[in-house]
C-alpha cells in the first residue's frame, strides 16, 4: 500500500518568520515539521510505503504514485487543505482528511474527503488502515474514548526533511487543566492532562540525536498541565542532557503559574529549556477573569515574567485584544506592559471564536459573531468577534498602531534592555557551531543592521549588555525576531491601498506600452482588477509569446510591482513554447521572494512540461 501524507501550506503569519528564513537562515524553509504526520506514519502497517510532503518546504506532486492521500490541517490551513482534498479526489485518488480542524469540526469535511479522521489518531488510524486493506473504509472515524499516551509510537522523524526546519517538534502531553473560554485545545483533548513516560520521550530523543537535531520544541499546549509528571520528565531530561553532554536545547508552551514553583523553574533550566511560550493574553485582571484565565491572576504578571527570566529562561508570549472588558485604552496598557516585560516575541492576536468553544457559544447567543469564513488565524486584521466596548474598525486601527509602535527600532531596543536587566545568562548554549554562528551574524549585520542605517545602529549598540556578554547572542536573536515581525507588519498591516494601487496603475501603463505588440497580436492579455479597500491584482494571460526578451523584461517589471506595491499577480499560462521554458523559470526565480502574492494557473496540456513550486507560489489547482 502506498500512502502519501501532505501538510498543506500555511498562510503567512507572524509565526512564519519569513524574513528570518530569507535574510538570516536561507538554508531553512520553515519553523517546525509536521509532527502529526510523522506520528501517523508510525501507526501504519510495517509493509506500507509512506511519503510525507510538507508544502511549506517543498512542492506537492501533481501526479503522485499513491493508493491513499492523507491531508492534515489546522484551522488556518483549512482553505488550502480543502483545495488539495478536492484536487486529488477529482483526479481519482482516495483522500483522507485529518488534523486538528477535522478533529474539531469533522462535519466541514463530509463532502471533501472519502474518509475523515476526527480526534487523536492512535487507535482510529489503525482501524482505518485495517478497513482500507479489507476494501471497506468508513466515511468517518471519530475517536470518542481516551487515548493513552503510552500507545503513541515514536514518530517517523526519519521521513521528515529535518534539515529544512529551524527546530523539530515532539510531544509529551495532551490536555490542559485550565478552562480559558476561547480555547479549543480543551474541547479536543480534555482537561485531564495525559502524558508519555519519560522513557518514551527518551526513545524519541535518541532518534533525534541520531538525526543530528540540536533544537527541539515540545509542542504540548501546556507542558506543566500535570506538574508531578512534568517534574518527572524534567528530571529525566536533565539527566539525559548531562549523560549526552547537552546535545540539544528545548522550548515549550506552559502556563504562567510555572513562575510560582521554584523547583519546576530550576528543573526547566537544568534540562536546558531556553524559552517557553506563555499565554499571557492581557495585563488587565478583569479581562483575564472574563476569559476564565484565573491562573494568570494569582501573582503580578510582571513579577512572574521577571522570575522566569531570573532562571535563564526566555519568554515568548501570546496576547489578545478584543475581550468584552477591553476598550480603546487597552492598546496603551498592552503597549506599556509588553515594553516593561521585555517580551520580544509578543504574538498579539484579535480575540477569535473557534467553533465549539464556550466563547463561540456565548457570542452566538449574544448575536455577536460576525458571519464570515473564519479559519482561526488571529494574527490577521480580521476576526469573527464583534467587540463590546469599541467599534470594530476602531479595534483594527488600534491593533495596527500597537504593532507599529512596538516594532520601531526604539521599542525593539527598549524591550531588549528591559529583558537583559532580569535575564540570567544562559548556560549550555551550543546551538550553533562557530562557523554557522559567524555566518548568521554576517547576515544579520548586512540585512538587519546596515539596512536600518544609523538610527538602527544607534539603538542596536545601546542594547549590548556590556556587563553580561553571555547575553549578546540573545540580544541578536531578539533583534532578529523584532525585525522579522516588523517586516511582516510592514507588508501586511500597511493598508494604504489607494496610493499603492495608483502606483500599480502607473506600472500597468508602462507595461502596456512596452508590450504593445504582444497585446495587439493577442499573445498577451493584461488587466488590473481592484475592489474597494483591497490591493490591486494584475492578471496576466500568456498565450504563446515567443520572444525570449519578453520574459526578461516582464520579470523586471513584475519584480518592481511586487516590490513597490501591495499588489498581487495572477499568472495564467495558457500557451508556452517549450523553448521558452527556461526563460519562464528565470522570470519565476526573479519574483519568487514575493511568491505568496503570485497565483499561477497552468493550462492542463502544459502540466507535463511546466513545474511550479507550490511551496514558493500559490499554485491554483481548481479554477
Which residues are near ligand SF4 by CB under 6 A? 176, 178-180, 183, 185-186, 221-222, 255, 279
Closest CB to ligand SF4 among 61 and 177? 177
Q: Name which of 184 and 487 has its Cβ closer to ligand SF4.
A: 184
Q: Enumerate the β-bridge partners of residue 601.
A: 572
User: Could you give the C-alpha distances from 173 to 202, 272, 461, in angstroms and in order?
Assistant: 14, 19, 42
Q: Which three cell numbers stand for residue 580?
A: 521558452
Please, which residue, 73 or 279, has the CB nearer to ligand SF4? 279
Instruction: Output the CA–CA distances (angstroms, integers) from residue 574 to 468, 520, 535, 552, 567, in the order listed.
Output: 61, 17, 25, 19, 22
Closest to ligand SF4 by CB, 349 vs 414, is 349
Q: Rounded to an integer, what distance in angstroms lies between the CA atom of residue 382 and that of residue 388?
A: 16
C-beta of 357 vs 477, nearer to ligand SF4 = 357
How near is the Cβ of 257 to ligand SF4 at its closest, in Å? 9
Cβ proximity to ligand SF4: between 177 and 247 the closer is 177
Query: Taking the complex as a whole, how short is the minimal distance between the CB of residue 291 and ligand SF4, in angstroms?
Result: 9
- Where b means 16+ CB within 10 Å and e means fewer, 317-349 reads bbbbbbbbbbbeebbeebbebbbbbbbbbbbbb
Beta strand ranges found along 67-167 (DSSP E): 68-71, 94-97, 115-118, 140-142
CB 205 within 8 A of CB 239: no
Q: How far is the CB of 279 from ligand SF4 (least distance, A)?
A: 5
Is residue 80 within 8 A of residue 9, CB to CB? The reply is yes
What distances in angstroms separate CA 180 from CA 77, 235, 259, 294, 478, one per listed residue? 23, 29, 19, 8, 29
> CA angle 177-358-363, nearest 5°?
155
Shortest distance, position 65 Cβ to ligand SF4, whole Å = 40
Minimum CB distance to ligand SF4, residue 446 (Å): 39
In the sheet with 524-529, reading across from the earlier edge strand, the strands are 524-529, 537-543, 568-575, 598-602, 618-619
Q: How distant, in Å, are the alpha carbons of 217, 566, 609 from that of 197?
A: 17, 50, 51
- We find the least distance from the C-beta atom of residue 105 to ligand SF4, in angstroms, to be 18
* Minimum gap (Å) between residue 80 Cβ and ligand SF4: 25
Instruction: Return the number of the residue (357 or 618) whose C-beta is nearest ligand SF4.
Output: 357
C-alpha cell at 343: 517580551
Please state, in angstroms and rounded to a whole number, the distance separating the CA atoms of residues 37 and 495.
Answer: 37
Q: Smallest distance from the beta carbon of 66 to ligand SF4, in angstroms? A: 35
Q: Least CB distance from residue 221 to ligand SF4, whole Å?
A: 4
Q: For ligand SF4, which is the closer residue by CB, 83 or 326?
A: 326
Q: And the C-alpha cell for 211?
A: 538525526
Amino acid at each position: 500500500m502506498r500512502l502519501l501524507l501532505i501538510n498543506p501550506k500555511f498562510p503567512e503569519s507572524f509565526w512564519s518568520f519569513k524574513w528570518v528564513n530569507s535574510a538570516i537562515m536561507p538554508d531553512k524553509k520553515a519553523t517546525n515539521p509536521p509532527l502529526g504526520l510523522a506520528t501517523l506514519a508510525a501507526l501504519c502497517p510495517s509493509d506500507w510505503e509512506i511519503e510525507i510532503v510538507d508544502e511549506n518546504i517543498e512542492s506537492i506532486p501533481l501526479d503522485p504514485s499513491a493508493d491513499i492521500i492523507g491531508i492534515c490541517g489546522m484551522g488556518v490551513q483549512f482553505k488550502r487543505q480543502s483545495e488539495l482534498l478536492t484536487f486529488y479526489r477529482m483526479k481519482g485518488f482516495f483522500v483522507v482528511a485529518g488534523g486538528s480542524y477535522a478533529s474539531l469540526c469533522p462535519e466541514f469535511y463530509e463532502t471533501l474527503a472519502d474518509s475523515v479522521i476526527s480526534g487523536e489518531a492512535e487507535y482510529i488510524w489503525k482501524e482505518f488502515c485495517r478497513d482500507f486493506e479489507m476494501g471497506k473504509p468508513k466515511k468517518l472515524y471519530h475517536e470518542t474514548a481516551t487515548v493513552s499516551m503510552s500507545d503513541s509510537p515514536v514518530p517517523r522523524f526519519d521521513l521528515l526533511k529535518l534539515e529544512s526546519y529551524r527546530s523539530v517538534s515532539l510531544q509529551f502531553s495532551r490536555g490542559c487543566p485550565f478552562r480559558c473560554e476561547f480555547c479549543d485545545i480543551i474541547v479536543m483533548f480534555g482537561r485531564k492532562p495525559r502524558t508519555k513516560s519519560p522513557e518514551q520521550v527518551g526513545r524519541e530523543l535518541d532518534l533525534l540525536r541520531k538525526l543530528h537535531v540540536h533544537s527541539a520544541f515540545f509542542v504540548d499546549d501546556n507542558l506543566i498541565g500535570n506538574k508531578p509528571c512534568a517534574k518527572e520528565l524534567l528530571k529525566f531530561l536533565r539527566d539525559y542532557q548531562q549523560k549526552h553532554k547537552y546535545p540539544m536545547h528545548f522550548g515549550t508552551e506552559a502556563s504562567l503559574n510555572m513562575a510560582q514553583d521554584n523547583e519546576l523553574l530550576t528543573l526547566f533550566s537544568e534540562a536546558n529549556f531556553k524559552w517557553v511560550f506563555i499565554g499571557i493574553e492581557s495585563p488587565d485582571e478583569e479581562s483575564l477573569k472574563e476569559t476564565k484565565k484565573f491562573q494568570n491572576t494569582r501573582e503580578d504578571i510582571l513579577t512572574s515574567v521577571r522570575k522566569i527570566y531570573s532562571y535563564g529562561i526566555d519568554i515568548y508570549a501570546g496576547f489578545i485584544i478584543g475581550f468584552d472588558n477591553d476598550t480603546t485604552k487597552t492598546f496603551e496598557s498592552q503597549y506599556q506592559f509588553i515594553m516593561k516585560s521585555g517580551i520580544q516575541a509578543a504574538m498579539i492576536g484579535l480575540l477569535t471564536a473557534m467553533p465549539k468553544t464556550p466563547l463561540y457559544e456565548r457570542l452566538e447567543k449574544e448575536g455577536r459573531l460576525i458571519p464570515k469564513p473564519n479559519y482561526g488565524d488571529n494574527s490577521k486584521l480580521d476576526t469573527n468577534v464583534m467587540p463590546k466596548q469599541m467599534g470594530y474598525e476602531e479595534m483594527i486601527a488600534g491593533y495596527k498602531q500597537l504593532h507599529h509602535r512596538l516594532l520601531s527600532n526604539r521599542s525593539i531596543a527598549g524591550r531588549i534592555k528591559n529583558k537583559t536587566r532580569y535575564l540570567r545568562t544562559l548556560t549550555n548554549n551550543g546551538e550553533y557551531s562557530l562557523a554557522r554562528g559567524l555566518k548568521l551574524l554576517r547576515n544579520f549585520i548586512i540585512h538587519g543592521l546596515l539596512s536600518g542605517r544609523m538610527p538602527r545602529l544607534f539603538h542596536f549598540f545601546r542594547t549590548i549588555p556590556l556587563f553580561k556578554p553571555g547575553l549578546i547572542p540573545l540580544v541578536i536573536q531578539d533583534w532578529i525576531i523584532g525585525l522579522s515581525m516588523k517586516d511582516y507588519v510592514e507588508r501586511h498591516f500597511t493598508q494604504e491601498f489607494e496610493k499603492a494601487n495608483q502606483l500599480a496603475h502607473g506600472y500597468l501603463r508602462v507595461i502596456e506600452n512596452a508590450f504593445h505588440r504582444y497585446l495587439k497580436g493577442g499573445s498577451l492579455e493584461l488587466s488590473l482588477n481592484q475592489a474597494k479597500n483591497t490591493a490591486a491584482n494584475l492578471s496576466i494571460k500568456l498565450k504563446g509569446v515567443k520572444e525570449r526578451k519578453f520574459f526578461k523584461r516582464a520579470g523586471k517589471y513584475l519584480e518592481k510591482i511586487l516590490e513597490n506595491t501591495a499588489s498581487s499577480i495572477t499568472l495564467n499560462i495558457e500557451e508556452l513554447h517549450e523553448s521558452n521554458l527556461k526563460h519562464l523559470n528565470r522570470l519565476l526565480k526573479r519574483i519568487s521572494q514575493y511568491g505568496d502574492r503570485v497565483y499561477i494557473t497552468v493550462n492542463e496540456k502544459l502540466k507535463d512540461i511546466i513545474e511550479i513550486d507550490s511551496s514558493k507560489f500559490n499554485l491554483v489547482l481548481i479554477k
